[in-house]
Amino acid sequence: MNNTTLKAPACLLDKVRTHLEIIYPGQDTDKLTQKAISLFEPIHESLDDSCASATHLWSEKDIALLTYGNSLVEEENRPLRTLDRFLKKFTNNRFSIVHILPFFPYSSDDGFAVMDYYTVNPSLGDWEDIRKISERCRLMSDLVVNHTSSRSWWFENFKKGVHPGKDYYVTVDPQSDLSQVIRPRTTPLLREVATPDGPRHVWCTFGHDQVDLNFKNPDVLMEFLSIIRHYLDNGVQIFRLDAVAFLWKEVCTTCLHLGQTHKIIKLMRILIQAHNPRAIIITETNVPARENLSYFGIGDEAQVIYNFPLPPFLLNTMVTGNSKGITDWLKTMPDTMENTTCLNFIASHDGIGLRPVEDYFSRQEKTQLIDLMKAFGGKISTRALNDHKDNPYEINISLWDAMKGTVHCRENHYQIERFICAHTIMLGLKGIPAIYIHSLLGTENDYERRENLQSNRAVNRHIWNYPDLCAKLVNPDDHHHQVFFALCALVDKRKQQPAFHPDAGQITFNINRKIVAFQRRAAEAGKTQGLFCIHNITDQAVTIPRKDLPEQWQRAGVDLISEKTVQLDTGLSLAPYQSMWITVT
C-alpha cells in the first residue's frame, strides 16, 4: 500500500486496515483503507502516533434536548428557524446538545425512511439553518444506517439494475431459513420487487417502505463514510446510529448484534475521531440491557449508549410508588469504561420500550403497567416472535399523560409533582441527561395526529403552533408554563454541580420502597463534592429516621433544590414526590 498519498499516522492506517480485513476478507483492503481515510482528511493535528482517543468529551454542564425539526411551526418561517428562535428565546443555551431527529427528505416513519442523505428536507429549511443551530450547541444528527426509503434514488436504481444502488440492498431467497430473525415489527420481512434480472426479495426489517442496505458490499460502507464526512462539514458533532443492531445479515442467525456490525461501528469511530477528536457516536439499540452494553465494546466502540431500561423502570416506579425494581437494577449497573457513558432519558419520539426490561419485569408487572397506560390514552405497539403472536414491544404515550395517576389512584392532583420528581431522578443519575421537547413542554397525547397518520407513535409527536405555545409558556397558570420553568430551574442547578459529571461515582442506597436514593461524588482539581439525591416516589409524606440514612449523610446539609438547610441528624421528612439534592455543610 502506498502510504505516501495519505497524511495519516501509521497506527491509524493499521487500525483501519485491520478492521476492514475482518469485515471484508478477500477484498482489496489496502484500496479500501486508502479510500476510507481519504474521506476524512485532513486528519486532526492532535492525533499523534499513539492514536489516543479524545478525553473530556462531556461534563456536568452537558444536557441534551431531543426534538423534531418541525416540533414547532409558525406561518412564513422555516421550522428550523423557528426552532432556533425557541432555543434562543426560551432555553437560553441551557441545552449544550440538541438532537434534531431526521431532517432529510423522507417517505414515511416521520423521517426514518430517508430518500436523500445529502439534502435537508426543504419543508424544514436548508444546511445553512442546520449550521446556524450547530453554532449554538453540539448538534446531534441521526445516521439512518440500516435502511433507506423505498423511494430513494438508490432503490430506484436497484429496481432498474443500474449503479449506484444495483447491489446496495439485501436480497434473499424466500425459501431460506429466516426463523431465527429478531425484529420489532409484525409486517412480512421480505418484499418482492421486479428487476431486470427477474423478481428479487428484499429484506425489510422495519416495513416495506424501509429497505435494508447490504453492508456486505463495501461500496455501501464507503457511501456512508462519505455521508458522515458531509455531516461533519455541516456542523454535526454527535452521530446517533439508528437501529444499528440490525445492520449485518446472515441467514440462519438472529441478524442482531453480529460481529461485523460491531466492527463497522468501531471503524466509524476511528475515522470520525481522526477528523474531529470531540465527535461522538451514540448507538440506538432498544434491546435487553446486557445486549445494549455490548455496544461500548472494550471502550473502542460507541462512546455513548441509550440507557433504554431507564424509561420503563422509572415510569413503573412512579406509578406504583415502589422503588424496589429500579433500586435493584441501579445496583447492578456496571461502572462505565473511560470515555464511555449512558444517555439517560425518560421519553423520546419513540415509545417506552418493554424489551429492555424483559429480564426484570414479571408478566404481572408488565400487564399492570400496560393496562394503566391504556387507561391514560396510551397505545401498545407489538412485534412478531416465533410464537406467531403479537407481543407488546413499546408503550406509546406522552410522558405527561403517563404520569396522570398511579395504580392506586387512576388520576389525582399530583401530576406535576410526579412528573417533575421523575425528571429529578433522571437528571441526577450517572450519565448525560436528555429531555424530549414534549416532556419539557408538558405536551399531552395527540390523538388527532395518531388517527391521521395511523401510527401509534404519533400520539407523542405533536406539532406545536409556535405562537400558541408562546402564549402558554408566559401564562403562570398553565401547566405547560409550570412544567417548563420547573425543569429549566432543575437543569440550571444541575449544571453547577461537579458531582453530576457523567463520570462521577454513583452509589445506590436501599432505604425503603417509597424512596429512590443514591449518592454522586466527584473529585476534580483538588476539590471533592458529594451529593445525596433522595426522592419520595409516593403521594404520601415520608419520614426517614436518622438510623435509616447512610452513615455519611446523618448530619446537617443544604438541599440545593430548595436552597434550605436540612437537619439530617434528626432524620428526614419528604413531602409527596419531593426531591432533595443534599450537600453536607
Annotated binding site for substrate: 109, 147, 240-242, 349-350, 457
Whole-number Å distance between alpha carbons of 114 and 175: 29
CA 328 to chain centre: 23
Burial class (CB in 10 A: 0-12, 13-18, 19+), 548: middle
Strand partners, 565: 558
387 belongs to the catalytic site: no
Whole-number Å distance between alpha carbons of 545 and 543: 7
What are the cell numbers at 229? Answer: 464526512
Q: Which of 213, 209, 217 is nearest to 188 (CA)?
A: 209
Whole-number Å distance between alpha carbons of 186 and 387: 12
The total of other beta-carbon atoms located within 10 Å of residue 12's CB is 21
What are the cell numbers at 584? Answer: 453536607
Residue 579: in which H helix or E strand, if any? strand 579-584
Catalytic residue, chosen from 129, 242, 503, 539, is 242
Q: How far apart are the first and last CA of the chain?
A: 63
Whole-number Å distance between alpha carbons of 583 and 367: 39
Distance set, CA 256 to CA 244, 248, 262, 294, 508 (Å): 9, 8, 10, 12, 32
Annotated binding site: 109, 147, 240-242, 349-350, 457
Is residue 360 within 8 A of residue 324, CB to CB? The reply is: no
Residues designated catalytic: 242
